[in-house]
Amino acid sequence: MTNSDKTRLRAIYLKKRLLLTPDEIRQKSRQISEKIPHLEQVENKNAIACYLAVNNEPNIQNIITYFLEAGRTVVIPAFFEKLKQYKFVTLSSLNNLEIGQYQIPQPLKLLPVDSIKIELALLPGLAFSEGGLRLGYGKGVYDRLLANSSTFKIGVCYDFQIINHFKSEPHDIKVDFIVSENRIIKT
């Protein structure tokens, strides 16, 4: 798949996602959020990477709250301006957030963590293949943060974002499961 093919796919799936109504996002996000905490692969994980939704991504704040209330460590990607790169940082609350790079919310106080210690990652994407390939925005943020990591990865998306196949690049990370409002797919 050429870069222009990936660019075209990104545009198609971002546009589809942006067409969702607030009610559709709420309903589908709730359905997704009810599935994830009860997966066997999630139950005993204590250090969990999550994301804060932008551009109509599935909203997983209920899952984040569940993990925080259960005493688990939650981290999210945050942009470090001085370093010009993303790192995982501790998220202790959904309060006291600011808008960071690419309009992505992040904590006011950035406390970086080592990604190797992360046991589970919930990852957004523009599209996922049934085989576990993830198509993000093309910045390689998660590919770099989770490279050489044994972290168990779950792609979080709406059902229409799951497609048969697309070609990946050697640096692209794969997810172990995909969870949508209608399906759970082991890849």
> Is 186 within any annotated ligand binding site?
no
Residue 117 assigned ligand-binding role: no
Residue 57 labeled ligand binder: yes
138 labeled binding residue? yes
Residue 86 marked in a binding site:
no
126 appears as a binding residue in the annotation: no
Q: Is position 66 annotated in a ligand binding site?
A: no
Label residue 43 exposed, middle or buried (CB < 10 Å: 0-12, 13-18, 19+): exposed
Contact of 135 with 9, CB cutoff 8 Å: yes
* Integer Cα distance of 63 and 80 in angstroms: 25
Q: Residue 100, annotated ligand binder?
A: no
Instruction: Check whether 131 is labelled as a binding-site residue.
Output: no
Start-to-end Cα distance in the chain: 20
Distance of CA 149 to the CA centre of its chain: 16
As a whole number of angstroms, the distance between CA 148 and CA 15 comes to 32
User: Are 55 and 14 spatial neighbours (Cβ–Cβ below 8 Å)?
Assistant: yes
Two structure tokens written together for 144: 């770099």
Residue 18, annotated ligand binder? no
Is 137 annotated as belonging to a binding site?
Answer: yes
Give the Å distances, CA to CA, from 136 to 84, 127, 128. 19, 7, 9
User: Would you say 135 is a known binding-site residue?
Assistant: yes
Q: What one-character DSSP code corresponds to residue 71? A: T
Known binding residues for ATP are 6-10, 134-142
Known binding-site positions: 6-10, 52, 57, 134-142
Per the annotation, where are the binding residues for substrate? 52, 57
